């Protein structure tokens, strides 16, 4: 894992079984709990060559929102999407083929600016029960500092990338632009929002890259990048859905 001043991608560092291991450190308990069936019906597990790779959010019966760094360099034929389960080992979700990966044309893999992709499924999912779409935050959506948001994901629980298969979630606080700005966090842009806990005890290292950050039941952010797991004074960065709302509408008709 990278040093605190070096950004790293949150590819499969995720909500673990209460423990998330950092290199050369003891395991730390930083929160998170198991989701109940149907609690996050919009949650997607993106599978690469049969293994969990990233998170995503179902926004229509054929479209998923995720992070661009989750799909960059990948082939749609090697990826699948699983929806409608809180346990990947249970075999009770819908496994969907992917027809198209649509990476934001302004995505910058060095800075992670415009870190968003859309995924078009080969056929519609069956909506109902544990499979539902999530509403997108409006283009001008904004929230006060310390507003509580929710992250969720299937990701790894330790530095060996051991996957728990079960969906977990945690609460994080949104940071205001007084702290979440390019002066305090070099590289941060208007397409990014910050969330975490000032003490570092809760952070999006507990959530899959590409997975949802929700506020008031709407998709407000997409897990993008950070400086370390549970680093004091270092939030995680999320792609701001409101800033890219028109692009989503143009390409997903949502």
CATH number at residue 66: 2.40.10.10
139 in a structural domain: yes
57 and 96 together in one domain: yes
Predicted pLDDT at 152: 92
Instruction: Give yes or no: residues 123 and 139 share one domain.
Output: no
Asked whether residue 147 falls in the same domain as residue 237, the answer is yes
Q: Is 87 a catalytic residue?
A: no
pTM: 0.86
Range of the structural domain that residue 173 is part of: 134-242
For 113-154, write each residue's pLDDT tens digit.
999 999 999 999 999 999 999 999 999 898 998 899 999 988
Predicted confidence band of residue 9 (pLDDT cuts 50, 70, 90): very low
Q: Does 77 lie in the same domain as 51?
A: yes
Q: Which of 69, 152, 197, 208 is catalytic?
A: 69
More confident of the two residues 156 and 36 = 36
Q: Is residue 173 part of a domain?
A: yes
**Which residue did the predictor score with more confidence, 31 or 241?**
241
For residues 198 and 113, membership in a common domain is answered with: no
Residues 86 and 142 in one domain: no
In a domain, residue 76? The reply is yes
Residue 53 catalytic? no
In a domain, 112, yes or no: yes
- Look at residue 222 and tell me if it is in a domain: yes
What is residue 135's predicted lDDT score, i.e. its pLDDT? 98
pLDDT at 30 over 70: no
Do the domain assignments include residue 160?
A: yes
Q: Tens digit of pLDDT for each residue in 53-112?
A: 999 999 999 999 999 999 999 999 999 999 999 999 999 999 999 999 999 999 999 999
From the candidates 115, 117, 208, 224, which is the catalytic residue?
Answer: 115
Residues 152 and 55 in one domain: no
51 and 111 fall within a common domain: yes
Average pLDDT, the chain: 82
Closest by CA to 213, choosing from 120, 148, 158, is 148
Average of per-residue pLDDT across 3-29: 31
Count of CA atoms in the C-beta half-sphere (13 A) of 81 = 35
Among the listed residues 57, 204, 209, 224, the single catalytic one is 209
How many domains are there within the chain? 2
Which pLDDT value is given to residue 204? 52
Q: Are residues 56 and 146 in the same domain?
A: no
Q: Give catalytic status of residue 69 as yes or no.
A: yes
Q: 181 and 112 share a domain?
A: no
* Position 15 in a domain: no
For 142-203, the DSSP string reads: ---TT-EEEEEE--BSSTT-----B-EEEEEEEPPTTTSSTTTSTT--TTEEEEE-TTSSS-
């Amino acid at each position: 894992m990278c040093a605190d001043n070096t950004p790293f991608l949150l590819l499969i560092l995720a909500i673990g079984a209460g423990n998330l291991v950092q290199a050369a450190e003891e395991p730390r308990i930083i929160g998170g709990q198991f989701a109940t069936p149907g609690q996050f019906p919009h949650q997607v597990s993106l599978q690469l060559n049969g293994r969990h790779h990233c998170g995503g959010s179902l926004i229509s019966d054929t479209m998923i929102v995720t992070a661009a760094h989750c799909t960059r360099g990948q082939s749609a034929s090697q990826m699948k999407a699983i929806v409608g389960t809180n346990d990947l080992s249970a075999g009770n979700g819908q496994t969907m083929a992917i027809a198209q990966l649509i990476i934001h044309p302004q995505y910058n893999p060095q800075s992670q600016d415009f870190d968003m992709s859309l995924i078009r499924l080969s056929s519609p999912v069956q909506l109902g029960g544990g499979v539902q779409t999530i509403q997108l935050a409006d283009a001008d959506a904004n929230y006060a500092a310390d507003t509580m948001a929710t992250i969720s994901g299937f990701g790894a629980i330790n530095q060996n990338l051991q996957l728990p298969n079960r969906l977990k979630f945690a609460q994080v606080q949104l940071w205001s632009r007084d702290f979440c700005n390019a002066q305090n966090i070099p590289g941060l842009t208007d397409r990014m929002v910050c969330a975490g806990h000032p003490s570092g005890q809760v952070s999006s290292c507990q959530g899959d890259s590409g997975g949802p950050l929700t506020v008031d039941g709407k998709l407000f952010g997409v897990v993008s990048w950070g400086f370390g797991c549970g680093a004091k004074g270092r939030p995680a960065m999320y792609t701001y859905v409101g800033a890219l709302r028109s692009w989503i509408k143009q390409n997903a008709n949502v």
